[in-house]
Structure 1
Amino acid sequence: MTSSGIGYRLLGAWAVAMIGLSYLIFRRQHVDDTREFVTAGGRAQVGLTTASFAVTWMWAGDILGVPEYVGITGVAGIWMYAAPAVLSSLIVVPFALRMRRLFPQGLTYSEYFIERFDKRAHVAVIFVILYTMVLGGVIQLYVGGTVIGGLTGIDPNVVMAILMGTIGIYILLGGLWGSMTTDLVQFVSAIVLTVVFVPLLLFEAGGPSGVYNGMIENLGENAEPFLTASNLDWIEDLFLPYALGLGVWGVVSLSTWQRIFAVRRDKTSRFLTAGGIGVFTTIAMYGVIGLVGLAAFPDVAPGDLSIEALELLPGWATVLFLVIALMVLGSSVDSYLTAIASLTSRDIYYRHLATEASDDQQLRVARIASIGFAIVIFGATVFALDTLGFIQLLLIGGIGATALVGPFALSLFWKGTSSAGFIAGVVGSQLVTGYLLAASYDVVVTAPTLKLWEIMAVGHLVATALAVVISAAAPDEFEFDSIAREPGTGAATDADSAARTDGGPPVGSNGGERE
């Protein structure tokens, strides 16, 4: 553990650096309109977007989550954590390609649901996205307080306040440009963390052979299952809920969709695939932290393995690790806060409260939201830190995806999907899963107690089944190419421009639908 004085100086230096960088980007990229704030003007380079996407998915939570998975189930915990995380970045590819064809002029993917259905459907989607993004921010900030506080002795609430305040300010300045540019610095930091500090930690613990022998000695009769990747004892408690929730979370994550709309359309699948590969490699390296913890600390609870193991680093390395960890911790939180600010401005304010609002007014609301929701996320994290374990919070975080993925897919590929069916699927699923989740925590006692993965499976089934059945009874006859091109309104000109800008062909180049 390093001193609190060093911790405060590091937090201060990080805050000045990130705010200063965001201010430079604010001036350089002219972040003075809503499109620049929300989608970086649709002109972000694929390298920048890929790095931003990858580091956003290299969740700060991995620093705690992967070692805890390993502490519970051994080597198998690495693939139980990694497989759903990688799946989440890859499963979004067909959704993204289809959306970019249908809605190239979009600023937020949530606005698609107004064009595809109506404002009622849009409100249902806003609700799911909003609490999902807030919960994602809480998960990441939780890690910031735990890791930085644990390694410096600073009160975790103080750490979280500094982190959230800094992030709120630099998002207020630069919007998505600020988020992605700081993410690039944070991406390089994440790579350094995995290729330098994890091997260093392994060396400090006695090297591979020393860690292996330590695990054999400490685990005793549990050594054999813990040292094989085929230990399936915890598959229902760890793997399945993660796969059914966070494994499809990328499809509903507004922070992911902001980056999809920010990059050239012909680069979409490339940057998503590259990001997924990067996520897998970092998770595998973080698993080493858990293995070191099992070898060195026989009596430590799985949730504490990460902090205990990292304290094996020499003093100078701990300081450098904290610098890099601050970068990684900021990358995910700023992405969710940017998404929430965009959602508040475009989807709530402009689409429902002030449909005649000027661009300046929308931008002002986005910037106010970046500070307002920074406070909300901080308050929710303080509550979570005192009431929930990290893995518990992490797995529950995927519950929102169960309501939206099925109906969203139907809306993109089946023209018969109706507004009534879509709304019934999303709202019905959320009500059912919310009730079952409350029952599992003994909040209500009149429902069957199901495992978390079963609750998530029920959520997916209810959402998709309701959308299909109600839509089949009274199908829509939606024309997909009408979203980007509305004859007689001039919308086609705007869509043509957007399609060309993002690297795609103009509207109508292939019978009316974009390639």
Structure 2
Amino acid sequence: MNNINLALFLYVMIMFLATFIFTSSKETSSSFIVADRNLPENKCAFSIAATWIWAPALFVASSQAYLKGWQGFAWFFIPNILTLILCGKLSLKIREKFPKGYTLPEYMGNIYSKRVKRLYNIEMIILAILSMAVQFVAGGKILSLITGISFLKMSILLGIVALGYSMFSGIKASVLTDFIQMILMLVVGLITVPLLVIKTGGIESVINGLGGINKDYLTISLKSWDLFLTFGLTTTIGLLSGPIGDQSFWQRTFSMNKNNIKRAYIKAAIIFAIIPLLMAVIGFSAAGIGFIPKDTGIVNLEYIIAYLSPSFITLFVIMLVSGLSSTLDSNLCAISSIIAVELKGDIKRNSRIGMILLTIAGLLIANVPNMPIVTLFLIYGVLRTSVFAGTVTTILSNTPIKESNIFYGILLSMLVGVPLYVIGASQSNMNISIFATIFTLITPYIFIKLGGKKNG
């Protein structure tokens, strides 16, 4: 317990000291939001990878590997990698078309109208709030379980830490701390996982667990189709839509030299891949020896607690906090860029107020009793899907779509698809959830095709 508290204290000190030493509170408005468009390629690659490791990523890979074997893990892993590669291609295109931009809503507003811009701002603000809540729920519960400190206090502490260094120097602080956090996650994972496997039967335990705890998913069968419908389809659509509807990634796109964008995203995909692969190995190993956790959602944590010393538990906690913090600070900076474009006056002051309000909103949702983390995650995944078709088509097309078709396609997708998904998720109705996901994805595309191209 004392080791974990000390480690958390040292972690916080490292983040703040790095921010205070290597960045400045006197950043200009432009450098606070987009770092004067000169962020280093490698740091950005690590930052993108760290931002993409949202809270569930550290647990879902292990959980799916444990429950559904290699097939469950594949439906989580492959779309994650493809998503970052796709985002890199779109990022390069948008910088060519909009070299001095700040946000995706701003770009869509310039192409179409203020009301389209407002739709995108609404989507991204709601997404940021729900994403903050997910990080607080996941991190607060785990840290509360391990430290004995109440969930409320731990969730507030997570918010204060991310808020503190993000408010200091904006996107530069976010990218710098992301870089450090990603390094920490890689080092901890590469030390902890091999040792854990050695202690629990070696590579044989991993091979024995490739079909999951019940060996049902070692080969392709009818259960594979059920897995696709219940997990693979929604996850793939949600992940591919992920960065597209998230200003955190567009902000990094607008903060880099245009010539570095494609390489940065490819590097990010490779760096990111290491973490879910390591987490999956834990899940396979646990399944291979027949380990039964109290909560399959955190099987990797319970497995480490069962077989490794407290020192390694402490390391895993630091890994968890690093993943959480990188997403928290990215959300905070994303809000700052949206506010900078929308509000007149002191950009840095307004941005910092926005960061504070976002933190409070996320904490309020996270502290609703029995808030389901998976449901929150899937809901904002479907929300991001609502802007996928319109965004991709606009960026890749040389001729814009009619404004009314973009607007009403996305609006209908949001107003019908997202609430319908919430109903399906709350009732555990797979058919409703699948229909809602597909509806949210294809409705804007249908409107786009029906409307044709904008005249002139």
The TM-score normalised by the length of structure 1 is: 0.81
From 259, 263, 268, the counterpart of 1:266: 259
Worse overlay, 316-325 or 177-186: 316-325
Q: 1:146 aligned to 2:146?
A: no
Query: Do the aligned partners of 2:27 and 2:169 also contact (CA within 8 Å) in 1?
Result: no
Worse overlay, 10-19 or 189-198: 10-19
How far the C-alpha of 1:141 sits from its partner, in A, is 2.8
Q: 1:283 aligned to 2:267?
A: no
How far the C-alpha of 1:70 sits from its partner, in A, is 1.9
The one-letter code of the counterpart of 1:432 is V
Corresponding residue number in structure 1 for 2:351: 366
How far the C-alpha of 1:211 sits from its partner, in A, is 5.3
Corresponding residue number in structure 1 for 2:441: 460
Distance 2:88 2:410 in 1: 22
Q: 1:168 aligned to 2:163?
A: yes
- The structure-2 alpha-carbon separation of the partners of 1:288 and 1:146, relative to structure 1 and needing over 3 Å to count, comes to farther
Q: Secondary structure at the match of 2:455?
A: coil
The one-letter code of the counterpart of 1:458 is F
Corresponding residue number in structure 1 for 2:431: 450
1:97-149 CA-partner distances (Å, limit 9, x unpaired) = 22111100012222112211121111011011111122222223332123333
Q: 1:310 aligned to 2:304?
A: yes
From 392, 401, 421, the counterpart of 1:437: 421
Equivalent runs, 1:78-477 vs 2, <5 Å:
78-210=73-205, 219=213, 222-223=214-215, 225-228=216-219, 232=224, 233-294=226-287, 295-298=289-292, 300-311=294-305, 312-347=307-342, 349=343, 354=344, 357=345, 361-383=346-368, 386-388=370-372, 390-412=373-395, 413-441=397-425, 450-469=431-450, 471-472=451-452, 475-477=453-455
Distance 1:135 1:229 in 2: 35
1:286-314 CA-partner distances (Å, limit 9, x unpaired) = 10122233335236442241221120221
Q: How many residues were matched structurally? A: 451
Query: Do the aligned partners of 1:150 and 1:307 also contact (CA within 8 Å) in 2?
Result: no
Worse overlay, 251-260 or 392-401: 392-401
Distance 2:49 2:26 in 1: 23
1:82-109 CA-partner distances (Å, limit 9, x unpaired) = 0121122122233212211110001222
Q: What's the Cα RMSD here?
A: 2.5
Worse overlay, 91-100 or 161-170: 91-100
Q: Secondary structure at the match of 2:119?
A: helix
The one-letter code of the counterpart of 1:419 is E
The one-letter code of the counterpart of 1:114 is G
Distance 1:449 1:210 in 2: 33
How far the C-alpha of 1:185 sits from its partner, in A, is 0.6
Distance 1:325 1:365 in 2: 31
How far the C-alpha of 1:24 sits from its partner, in A, is 2.3
Q: 1:55 aligned to 2:77?
A: no
The one-letter code of the counterpart of 1:396 is I
1:182-221 CA-partner distances (Å, limit 9, x unpaired) = 11111111211221111122122232224556x59994xx
Q: 1:7 aligned to 2:4?
A: yes
The one-letter code of the counterpart of 1:467 is I
Q: Secondary structure at the match of 2:370?
A: helix
The one-letter code of the counterpart of 2:370 is D
Distance 1:229 1:60 in 2: 29
- The structure-2 alpha-carbon separation of the partners of 1:156 and 1:468, relative to structure 1 and needing over 3 Å to count, comes to same
Structure whose CA Rg is larger: 1
1:8-29 CA-partner distances (Å, limit 9, x unpaired) = 33333322221222222332xx
- The structure-2 alpha-carbon separation of the partners of 1:377 and 1:334, relative to structure 1 and needing over 3 Å to count, comes to same
From 3, 10, 18, the counterpart of 2:15: 18
- The structure-2 alpha-carbon separation of the partners of 1:226 and 1:156, relative to structure 1 and needing over 3 Å to count, comes to farther
- The structure-2 alpha-carbon separation of the partners of 1:198 and 1:308, relative to structure 1 and needing over 3 Å to count, comes to same
Equivalent runs, 1:37-48 vs 2, <5 Å:
37-48=32-43
Worse overlay, 299-308 or 264-273: 299-308
Query: Do the aligned partners of 1:7 and 1:154 also contact (CA within 8 Å) in 2?
Result: no
Distance 1:322 1:65 in 2: 16
1:408-452 CA-partner distances (Å, limit 9, x unpaired) = 223231524122111111111111213322431568xxxx97343
Distance 2:352 2:33 in 1: 11
- Unaligned stretches of 5+ in structure 2? none
The one-letter code of the counterpart of 1:368 is I
- The structure-2 alpha-carbon separation of the partners of 1:52 and 1:366, relative to structure 1 and needing over 3 Å to count, comes to same
The TM-score normalised by the length of structure 2 is: 0.91
- The structure-2 alpha-carbon separation of the partners of 1:299 and 1:255, relative to structure 1 and needing over 3 Å to count, comes to closer
Give the fraction of aligned pairs with identical amino acids, expressed as a percent.
Answer: 21
Distance 2:203 2:434 in 1: 35
1:152-175 CA-partner distances (Å, limit 9, x unpaired) = 333333222111111011111010
Query: Do the aligned partners of 1:157 and 1:382 also contact (CA within 8 Å) in 2?
Result: yes
How far the C-alpha of 1:333 sits from its partner, in A, is 1.5
